[in-house]
Amino acid sequence: MTDVERPERLALLPDAAVAGHLTVGVRTGAEKLPQAALAKACLPLDASSRWEAPRVRDLVDEAMRRFADLPTKADAWLAPRLHAGLRMTRREASDGRLWNFLALRLAPDYVFWRHPGRPSVEKPVPEVSSGRFRGAFHTQAFARLWWAAELFRNGDDYEPVEVACGNQDMLNTTLRLEIVHHRPTAQAIIQMLSRQTIRVGREVNALAKAVNTAGSTLMYEIIACDEVQDADAYRCWIEEIDTVYMPYDSLPEGPDDIRVPEAVVEALIPTFEKLYTEAPVRGRDKRTTV
Amino acid sequence: MKTLIPYPTLDGEIVLEVKEARLDGKPLSLTLISSMEQVVALHQVERNDWERARIVLRMRTPQELMSDEWVDVACAAVLTEKKTNVRLVTPLKRQSDNSWIGVAELHRDWHVGQAEVEGIVTATVADVQGRVIARTRRRWTVDLHLRTPTRKRTIRTVWKDFSSEENVYLHPYKGDPWAIEAADDEPVVYLNSGFEGLQFLLDSASRSDRAVQNAVAGQIAGDCWAALFNTAVYSIDVEDGEPQWPVGWKESVLRRMLPDVYPDRSPDDALVELCERRRQGESGGELQTRVLHAATKQARMSRSLSVFIRTLRTVEEEK
Amino acid sequence: MEDPGTFGVWLGRQLRRQGMSQAELAQRLDVTRAAVSAWVTGRAEPRLEKIRLIEEILGLTTGSVMTLDDVPDSAGNVVWYHRPAHRDGGRELGNPAAFAFESDLRVLAREATQNSLDERRDIDGPVRIRYTLHEVSGERLYRFLKALRWDDLEPHYEAAADRNTKVGRVLTNGLREMRETSSLLLLRVDDYNANGLTGPEYDDGRFAAVVRRQLDSHKSRSAGGSFGLGKAVLWGTSQLGLVLINSTLSEPYEGRTARRVIGRLDLPWRQVNGEDYAGPSWLGEPDAEMGGTACSWWADPDTVDALQLKRDSDAPGTSFLIVAAHDGTGEATTLEEMHDALVRSLGENFWASMVAKSGSRPMLEASVVALRDGHTVKAAERVDPDEYEPARVRALRAFLEGTTVEELTSDEDVVRTTVRLGLPPLKDTVVIDAESPNEHEAVLLLTPTNDDDPAPNKIVCMRGSRMVVMKRSVSDVPMGARRFQAVLLAGLATGSDTPDAFAAEEFLRAAEPPEHNEWKKTDDLTAMYARGAAARIQEFRVAMLAEARRLLRVQERKSEDGPPALRDLLSLDPPPAPRRPGFPTVGDVEGSIRTDGAWQVRVEIRLPEREDPWVMAPVLRFVTRSGPKPVAEWSELVPESHCEVIDGTLLRFAPRVRAAVFTGVSDVTSHPVAAHMAMAEVDLVRPKEAGA
């Protein structure tokens, strides 16, 4: 296979080079992406071994194999491993060009597989939304997984990521809210999810909405003060990339940059429970008890 | 639009100041911190490999905060950067002079462009802990790229020789006097220095060139606004059925032009209308006429063109 | 008796107090008048038996001469002496100097404190100055007036107040106020660790400079005392033109130091009991040698107490008691306001004299206290320079402690630089001395100040005394530069003791007008210095501003902004909110949460006038931390004026109206969170359905 079909190294693919190629034909699968033209437009990353493409490609292949019948289930498996396999800083992850590369050059097949789109009256032929290729961090096919892992992990523990990514509403609505930039808030919501205080998507959304709305007057950061994350520990974890093995059947280890103190999360949960039960949103199952 | 707050808040104003900033321990010259513009410029050519920046913040609060009415008072600085999903809350400690001081740390790995800093005061109000009772009216911006502490307020304009070897990406336009790049981060107006006479005309300080100069500048600006508007339209996201204002320059462009595109609609309604047109694929026709009108106004073309025409006539008559 | 001179002075004083002339003593001792004169002037000493006789004649106990004890003080000795009018009929209408100044309390504090600073005795310790405002009435006032011999004064006041002059009017006011309120405001200015009023009664010296001379300014400078024009403001501050003085001397006069007392009254020409009087009156002991004029006396503690002149300690210095004090500007009228005016003036003018590096003592400590009949109204407030000039105090302290920096990096940093002052030669130097300095480097300190500083971007200038001479605004500060305060230290204030510092000190002093509030071309400057002196001052004034601007300059901005003609057309600034928007807007909103948890709102709408009715949907939204704002539905929508409700969700406004009001109640079941937990906002949007 040529480098055009199977890139050896990750690179940056500028928006300007992408825009013209995400035609309806491409998004319905009728046309192929012009890989040669895209390859030409790419800008190389530094020489670090972190950017070896097979690391990521292998994970994507394994995800598509394991969850062939249930692509949505792949998120909980892939998110922590993509994060642990693609070791980078938030600064690097904020660069949309890297995610463009993953979606258009490295694994467009994954995007089609995971986000096929639904036929509608207006668009009878299903097409992949262009935002899955090139878009906001919470919609782009790969960025959403990496950021979910980054925002929902608890220090080196990826278990909360599995829980969160097992619920599509956590990924689709909660991930983009600023409230989860406060780790204790994110962990408290995940705790409520794993304790089944909230269960279905509608309940997740109601809780997130209540917390987000009350967040206009409440400083959760003052009520539940987080530890300062250890940026140096994160750096060390990035540099260890070549010495660790990526487990498929157990969770990898995340950066040991300090877990959220348990007491802080526990202190926040009653507040959220109160907001949730007192929220009078129509249509929610009133029998839900906490 | 007016906000209703269901509990008492602080009447007076709170003010946040940046006392000093350090890059890896080395103090930053105060000329890089503008308290008037509320900008800290972190970029220094000789030091782009720094790891952490410390910003020493001081907040001043009104006297009424000291009254018994307020319990569990806490002050904090909230540092956020949208692009890296960072929200860092730094508690501020009360000083003997009743100001509040704290140090916010920016780790370079966690930031990429601009961080915003807002000051807030919380208290326990009606048994609810941690309620915001005041926030700063203006935010500080800590910018990792700026060399001078001023807010960027104009679209970047760059002279390039479109046919030169270094500028391959401009080759398709090498016969054009200018080109507009509406990229995600920052739009750029490229002026072709290889286009004979253009640079001479635009940089001329001569009075007699003024009329032509302004007319040409108006043309460029008009093109620019129209191009940027169209790019911005396609970046409007719809969440929960509501169109959301895009961020950065795209929001600025829409906010400046929408009042001229839809003068009888509020900016929010105009955004909704625009989205509706986009969904129905009606980007041509009437909408384009309106966009051109708004671009012409932004570029103040009517005025520069009338002056230009009058000048031409005067010259004719003198002949 | 070790010092014959001391005996002579003592004898002269005893004679004066008894009202006995030298000739009379000579006659009673049976010696020549020349002999007594020789004793008094210290040229000779009497023999022992004559001394015994002297003690007898003067009614002193034996041995008094040896210990130089005084005749027991009898209050009867002290009188008011009013100077008769000139024979030529010339009428002086009051002390002209007293009215050369606006009798402003702030000016008083400036002048009096400056004098005290100049008179500092021990330069290792501060001169302590205290202003005491004391309003006396009743018994206390009665005793004071009695001690003052008011009965002797009153006819003079009555006569002088009866005139159509400025002085007369001030006096009339003073008298009327005292009578109407039955109270008198006394302002006492005390200094400690100062020289006190030393020197002889009439000849050159500090005492005469203050008490005897009227417009004694320049001369007194070289004579040792710097009591210049400024002292006149003491009398100017008295509505009755009356000041009492009690001084503790740093060097004995007549062999004594404690409680040298005199009172001086400045009244215009007046006729009392058919006699014409003009010029100052003195309260003191009659001086037979000087035609009965009154001179200072060594008062006993009781007298000093009755005259409200008791000093707090034995430390040398002077107390001035201004009787019927007032603020000529009329700004401060109450005791409290006057107290504050004094504190403010001291803070603003002398903050620098009150600053010292940590561990050492400042040049000046000042406090102000206010009393009403002996009860404290405003406790002694030590003027704290940090409170009045926080930024500049920080600058000066950093200079004194050597912690200034080259470049500002913190908003508490102080940057230090120099400003050149050219020194012109003195006029009377015939040969230009190669050694004489022609240049002085003044120190400029600059530090950031708070954003709420009401008067930022100013340079305060001072020399050796560290009194603020002038305050200058720095204009054309670069855009975006931090607000600052600056201090310029020139001459001896630089802490240097090189010849150029002394020369600069003299040069700048000559460039100050009598008010010491500017450096400019003065008569002294042109008289003392060679041509070009005024130009040097002007250059100095320009240079200090330029240096401040240089320190503030932001790094040159890279010119990547493209052609200027284009730049203005590409601004991304948000547009200003339109004054008259072309669409309906929400004006005032009142809202409260009902007991059932619903928002109840009353909303005022402003509309652009239009033939067709506007139809809009009112919306109540909940504010969020981020992302979309959940919309609450209405359970009730009630038109109040100029509108009607359609379909329960829309408002149709009457054609051509400009304002309308509606009220609404939200549907609780549509709230995303309990209403009291979040902020809400009301907005108007276009109806979703097309054509509505």
Does residue C647 sit within a domain? yes
C679 touches B at CB < 8 Å: yes
Q: What percent of chain A has pLDDT over 90?
A: 72
Query: Is the pLDDT at B157 greater than 80, yes or no?
Result: yes
Please state, as a whole number, how many other Cβ atoms lie within 10 Å of the Cβ of residue C324.
Answer: 22
Same domain, B132 and B228: no
Q: Do B122 and A222 touch (CB under 8 A)?
A: yes
**C618 pLDDT tier (thresholds 50, 70, 90):** very high
Which residues are bridge partners to B44 per DSSP?
B47
**pLDDT mean over A127-155:** 94
Same domain, B135 and B210: no
- C216 versus A281: the higher-pLDDT residue is A281
Residue C274, burial from CB neighbour count under 10 angstroms (0-12, 13-18, 19+): exposed
Q: What is the 3-state secondary structure (H, E, C) of chain A?
A: CCCCCCCCECEECCHHHHHCCCCHHHHHCCCCCCHHHHHHHCEECCCCHHHEHHHHHHHHHHHHHHCCCCHHHHHHHHHHHHHHHCCCCHHHHCCHHHHHHHHHHHCHHHHHHHCCCCCCCCCCCCCCCHHHHCCCCCCCCCHHHHHHHHHHCECCECHHHHHHHCCHHHHHHHCCCHHHHCHHHHHHHHHHHHCCCCCCHHHHHHHHHHHHHHCCCECHHHHCCCCCCCHHHHHHHHHHHHHCCCCCCCCCCCCCCCCCCHHHHHHHHHHHHHHHHHCCCCCCCCCCCC
Same domain, C412 and C523: yes
Which segment, B83-97, B172-186, B297-311, is predicted with the most confidence on average?
Answer: B83-97
> Angle at which helices C22-29 and C33-40 pack, to 10 degrees?
120
**φ/ψ (deg, to 5) at C630:** -60, 140
Q: Which of C72, C98, C129 is the last residue of a domain?
A: C72
Q: Are C488 and C395 in contact (CB under 8 A)?
A: no
Which residues from B are below 8 Å from A when comparing CB atoms? 5-7, 51-52, 74, 76, 78, 80, 83-87, 89, 91, 105, 107-112, 120, 122, 128-132, 181, 183-184, 237, 239
Same domain, C227 and C371: yes
Which residues are bridge partners to C370 per DSSP?
C133, C378
Query: How close does chain B come to A65, measured CA to CA in Å?
Result: 32
Does residue B305 sit within a domain? yes
- C60 versus C90: the higher-pLDDT residue is C60
SS3 C657: coil
Same domain, C621 and C659: yes
Does residue B166 sit within a domain? no
Query: Is the pLDDT at A105 greater than 50, yes or no?
Result: yes
**C228 pLDDT tier (thresholds 50, 70, 90):** low
pLDDT (0 to 100) of residue A289: 36
Same domain, B36 and B133: yes
pLDDT, tens only, C620-648? 999 999 988 999 999 999 999 999 999 88
pLDDT, tens only, C446-500? 999 887 788 889 999 999 889 999 999 988 776 667 789 999 999 999 989 899 9
Q: Do B249 and C572 touch (CB under 8 A)?
A: yes
pLDDT, tens only, C247-261? 999 988 877 888 999
Does residue C27 sit within a domain? yes
Average pLDDT, chain B: 88
Does residue B60 sit within a domain? yes
**pLDDT mean over A150-159:** 97
Nearest to C569 among B17, B239, B299 (CB): B299
Does residue B9 sit within a domain? no
**C224 pLDDT tier (thresholds 50, 70, 90):** very low
**pLDDT mean over C559-574:** 79
Average pLDDT, chain C: 84
**C216 pLDDT tier (thresholds 50, 70, 90):** very low
Nearest to C669 among A216, A218, A282 (CB): A282
Q: Which of B143, B159, B190 is the last residue of a domain?
A: B143
Same domain, B208 and B311: yes
Nearest to A231 among B110, B112, B132 (CB): B110
Query: How close does chain B come to C356, measured CA to CA in Å?
Result: 21
pLDDT, tens only, C132-178? 999 999 888 998 999 899 988 888 888 887 666 777 777 888 888 88
Query: Is the pLDDT at C23 greater than 80, yes or no?
Result: yes
Nearest to C670 among A179, A218, A282 (CB): A282
Query: Is the pLDDT at C328 greater than 70, yes or no?
Result: yes
Give the residue from B4, B85, B133, B279 with the most A CB atoms within 10 Å of its CB, the best one to mutate.
Answer: B85
Same domain, B122 and B228: no
Query: Is the pLDDT at C689 greater than 80, yes or no?
Result: no
Q: Which of B103, B119, B143 is the last residue of a domain?
A: B143
**C225 pLDDT tier (thresholds 50, 70, 90):** very low
pLDDT (0 to 100) of residue C359: 83
Query: How close does chain B come to C406, measured CA to CA in Å?
Result: 10
pLDDT (0 to 100) of residue A40: 86
Q: Do C570 and B218 touch (CB under 8 A)?
A: no
The boundaries of the domain holding residue B294 are: 204-318
Query: Is the pLDDT at B124 greater than 80, yes or no?
Result: yes
Which segment, B202-206, B257-261, C105-109, is predicted with the most confidence on average?
Answer: B257-261
pLDDT, tens only, C357-380? 888 889 999 999 999 998 998 888
Same domain, B212 and B126: no
pLDDT (0 to 100) of residue C420: 94
A77-99 b/e (C-beta count within 10 Å ≥ 16 → b): bbbbbbbbbbbbbbbbbbbbbbb
Cα–Cα distance between C424 and C529 in angstroms, integer?
7
Q: What percent of chain B has pLDDT over 90?
A: 48
Same domain, C133 and C14: no
Query: How close does chain C come to A214, measured CA to CA in Å?
Result: 5
Domain containing C611 — which CATH number? 2.60.40
Q: Which of B124, B143, B162 is the last residue of a domain?
A: B143
Query: How close does chain C come to A161, measured CA to CA in Å?
Result: 22
**C3 pLDDT tier (thresholds 50, 70, 90):** low
Q: What percent of chain B has pLDDT over 70?
A: 96
List C residues 478-507 in contact with B (Cβ-Cβ < 8 A). Answer: 479-483
pLDDT, tens only, A179-192? 999 999 999 999 99
Single out the residue of B43, B38, B31 nearest to residue B17, CA to CA: B38
C596 touches A at CB < 8 Å: no
- C426 versus C372: the higher-pLDDT residue is C372
Q: Do A209 and C673 touch (CB under 8 A)?
A: yes
**pLDDT mean over A65-92:** 96
The total number of residues shown for chain A amounts to 290
Same domain, C9 and C108: no
ipTM of the complex: 0.92
In chain B, the residue whose alpha carbon lies closest to the alpha carbon of A88 is B109
Does residue B93 sit within a domain? yes
Same domain, C292 and C415: no
- A243 versus C436: the higher-pLDDT residue is A243
pLDDT (0 to 100) of residue C507: 93
Q: Do B109 and A137 touch (CB under 8 A)?
A: no
Domain containing B60 — which CATH number? 2.60.40
What would the DSSP string read from start to end of B48-66?
A: ----EEEEEEEEE--GGGG
Nearest to B4 among C451, C628, C681 (CB): C681
Query: Is the pLDDT at C691 greater than 50, yes or no?
Result: no
pLDDT (0 to 100) of residue C100: 44
- B319 versus C548: the higher-pLDDT residue is C548
Same domain, C293 and C412: no
Does residue B177 sit within a domain? no
Give how many domains chain C has, as a whole number.
4
**pLDDT mean over B225-239:** 87
Same domain, C673 and C611: yes
pLDDT (0 to 100) of residue B259: 93
Same domain, C63 and C170: no
Query: Is the pLDDT at B262 greater than 60, yes or no?
Result: yes
pLDDT, tens only, B187-228? 889 999 888 888 888 888 778 888 889 999 999 999 999 999
Same domain, C29 and C115: no
Q: Do B15 and C677 touch (CB under 8 A)?
A: no
Query: Which residues fall within 8 angstroms of residue C621, CB to CB, at 6 or more apart?
Result: C629, C630, C631, C632, C680, C681, C682, C683
Query: Which residues fall within 8 angstroms of residue C427, CB to CB, at 6 or more apart?
Result: C527, C528, C529, C530
- B233 versus C166: the higher-pLDDT residue is B233
In chain A, the residue whose alpha carbon lies closest to the alpha carbon of C598 is A280
Q: Do C566 and B36 touch (CB under 8 A)?
A: no
The boundaries of the domain holding residue C106 are: 84-380
Q: Do B181 and A16 touch (CB under 8 A)?
A: yes
Cβ contacts of B248 on chain A, cutoff 8 Å: none
pLDDT (0 to 100) of residue C74: 47
Does residue B233 sit within a domain? yes
pLDDT (0 to 100) of residue C72: 53
Same domain, B208 and B138: no
A216 touches C at CB < 8 Å: yes
Same domain, C21 and C111: no
**pLDDT mean over A30-54:** 91
What would the DSSP string read from start to end of C275-290?
A: EEEEEEEEEEEEEGGG
pLDDT, tens only, B284-309? 578 888 999 999 999 998 888 888 88
Q: What percent of chain A has pLDDT over 70?
A: 95
Does residue B25 sit within a domain? yes
Give how many domains chain B has, as a whole number.
2
Q: Do A222 and B237 touch (CB under 8 A)?
A: no
Same domain, B139 and B208: no
pLDDT (0 to 100) of residue C692: 35
